[in-house]
Amino acid sequence: MKNQKGSSIITTPLVIAIGMMIISTLLVSAIQIIMPYIWYEKLSSVCMKYVFVLEEYGYLTKKEGNMLLEDLEKQGFQKKQIHLDYTAKKVAYGEEIFLKVDYEYSLKLPGFSRQVVPMKVEKYSICKR
């Protein structure tokens, strides 16, 4: 058999294209797997703001609870997938207060079906007023 010089001109770009597609798919998958951790940190940081309000006043009003939902929505969370639970009645100094936020993150991986990743942020503290 003779060595065909023209075949490398065809196969090299083909191998490079297939390799780039595989690398791109792996990169997109890695980013999608990391995203729930990033969203959890965003959720936790917004909740901390309202824990300070809880500590200061001893409870959250309905208006402040709605403001928390709006802040989460501004951060990119979907309102209908958020469930809130918090101290709604004023407590005395030194008593326990809490803020619980449940969120269902929809994880989309290429080639797989959607999976729901439950995120739960629970913050407990004491009333400082």
Task: Map out the domains of the chain as residue ranges.
Answer: 7-126
Distance, in Å, from the CA atom of 68 to the CA atom of 120, rounded to the nearest integer, reads: 15
- The residue length of the chain stands at 129
**pLDDT tens by residue, the chain, 129 residues:** 455 666 777 788 889 999 999 999 889 888 888 999 999 999 999 999 999 999 999 999 999 999 999 999 999 999 999 999 999 999 999 999 999 999 999 887 766 777 888 999 999 999 987
3-state secondary structure of 96: strand
